[in-house]
Every structure is written in structure tokens, then in C-alpha cells.
Structure 1
Amino acid sequence: MRRNTWMGTAVVLGLVLVAGAGCRNTREGMERDAEHAAEKADQAADRSAAAAREAGRDVSQAADQAADATREAARETADATREAARETARATREGMQEAGEATREGAARAGEMAREGAAATAGAAREAGREARESAASAARTGDAAQQTAQIKSALMADTTIDASDIDVDTEASTRTVILRGRVRTAAEKARAARIAADKAPSYRVTNNLQVGR
């Protein structure tokens, strides 16, 4: 009986030792697991921090690139604006120059046309004056010739030594010529008629075409 009790006690002690060993093993495993978990957490934190830093660098690079692009676009816009302003100024100057040249050409042409018109008017006036003078002179000559014709004819009719019934008197104003035509009875009448015509028209040439004989 005592021996069985001793054996039971031994069994119980053995179980307690085994249980104690198991508890130690479990605690150590948990500690190791915790250490592993902590290490993994640290590693994850490191990776997250590295990823955050990388993301920060990417964001910074993107911001720098965006800033560079903005500055470049601003420079290009400013260059384009300055070029457009220069082109506008150049076009304005050219337009003003062309307008000035056109104005000067127009003024010169207008002056030339005015001078031509004045010259034409003066020429027309001179021509009209000349024609008027010629017309007046022609009218005067014609009137004078008609007067000479009447005076010569009257003198021939009044002369009793001449039968002037068949004598025609023509006076040409342009050549200032008195022409006697027709018939007389004698050569003396022919000569007398020529003298009377010369006396009445001293500035005219007398052409005696009278025929003698009836």
C-alpha cells in the first residue's frame, strides 16, 4: 500500500514537472512569437516609412516638374506676347507708312490733276478767246467786205460813163479781193470800173474779169 502511494506521488510529481516544462515552453514560444511579430511590425513600419519617403520624393519631383512646366509655359507665353506686340507694332508702322505714302501720292495726283485741269481750262480759255477773236475778225471782215461790195456797186451805178447794169461785184473777205464779173460795152468802161472799185476799197486787191462787148 505504501509502495503504491509512493508511486502515485511520483506520477503526480512527474505530471507536475511535465506541466511545468510545458508552461515554460509555451511562455518562451509566445515570447518568441511576440518578438517575431515585433520584428515584422518594425519591418512593416520601415517599409511603410520607406514607401512614404519614396512617395514624398515622387510628389516633390512631380511638384518640381509641374513648377518647371509652369515656368516654361509662362516664358513661352511671354515670348509669344512680346513677339505679337512687335508684329503688331511693325504692322502698325507699315500701315501708317503705306497710308502716308498713299496720302502723299493722292495729294500729288490731286495736285497734278488740278494743274492739268487748270492748264486745260487755260488752254480752253485761250482757244475760246482765239476762236472768238477769229470769229469777230471774220465777222468784221465779212461785214467790211459786204460794205465794200455795196459801196463799189453804188459807185458803179452812179457813174454815168459806165453801163453797170450787167456788172457783178463779189468781195472775198478772207483774201481781201474784189472781183468784177459781167460785161461792159467798151474797154474804157472796163478800166473805169476797175478804178472805181480800187478807189472805194483801197485795202482790197481788184480782179477785173469783165468782158467787153454785148
Structure 2
Amino acid sequence: MRRAKYLPTEDRRNEAVEAVIDLASVRSPEDITTTAIAGRMKLSQGALFRHFPTKDAIWRDVMKWVSDRLFERIDKVAGAEDDPVAALEAMFMAHVAFVAEHPGVPRILMGQLQRAGATPAKQAAQALTSNYATRLRRILAAGKGSGALPAGLDEAAAATLFLGMVQGLVVQALISGDQAQMLDNAPRVFAIYRAGLLQDVKLTEERG
């Protein structure tokens, strides 16, 4: 099937975003040039810049795409569950599956968070992480309110651990280059998290 020579601006911008995500799955995001993006799209650089004023604008749209698609997926599965622990498990599995389908996404996210200065893309990456944690704390608080989770559960720590589990699986998959390993390990990792959630953990301070 031949590529359409002329596409609406929104379609062409989405095509550029997908090109960046595909490229990031096989190379460092810092090494992705506008020449490479345009080449992936079979366009000239000039044609690419008719849709994006700067390279930073491309990265901003990439982060918006990631945020929109990820939250659409996890909100859908979480909303289908009445039990808070089941909702968290559904979110966890959906997130891991999303990364397995788009291995360039974690490379992009980590790359943006490590950038110096407050670029639009970095701000979008920070907002994604913050909004995700807010969703988790909301589910955890609802679970405590309904009695499904222990009243003494530390919501902030539980949300941090949830995100840390996803990040740990992702980093190990990046190191090994094996996305299937992440999918295989996810259910066992969440089983341990579930067991911890249901324990009424009491933290004690050592007094000298």
C-alpha cells in the first residue's frame, strides 16, 4: 500500500510521534535526530518542520501521546473492577503490556526526566508520573474506606512501591533485551505486592 503523499496535519503529527517511538526502541532517544524521524516517515526535514516548529515540539507531542494512551488503557481496566486490589492488578498488567508493545516508551520517559531544565516534554513526563501516583492513591484510599484494605495502609508508600515495581521490571527488560521476561514476571511480582497490601503493617521507631 502506497503512503499518502498529503495527510492532514494531525495525522502527520501522529505519524511523527509513532516514528519517534519506533526509533527509540532500537536506539538511544538522545541520538534520534529530525533527519532520522523524517527518514522514517519518508519525508524531507523541511516537510517535517512544517508540522513541528522545533524538535522540542516533537518530544512534547510524544509525551502527550504516551500519557493519553497509557491513561486511557489503565483507566479503562481499573474502572471495570469493583475490588480495589483487582483494579490495581489490572492497572499493573495493562501498564506492563503497554510497555511490552512500545519498548521505546520507557527509554523516552527516562530520557526526558534526566534532561536539564524545564522543557515542555520533561514537564509532561513529570506530570504523567504525578497523575499516575494520584490515581493509585485514590484507589488505595477507596480500598481503605471500604474495608478492603487495612486502615493503617500507607497510601503514599504503596503507590511508590507500585510504580517502583513497574520501573524495576522495565529496567530489567531493557538490560536483558527480553520483553517477554517482563510479561512472565509481572504476575508473580504483583502476587507479592498483593500479599503486602493486605497485611496490616505497623512501623515502629527505635528509641535511643
Q: TM-score, normalization: structure 2?
A: 0.23
Give the structure with the larger strand fraction: 1
**Structure showing greater Rg:** 1
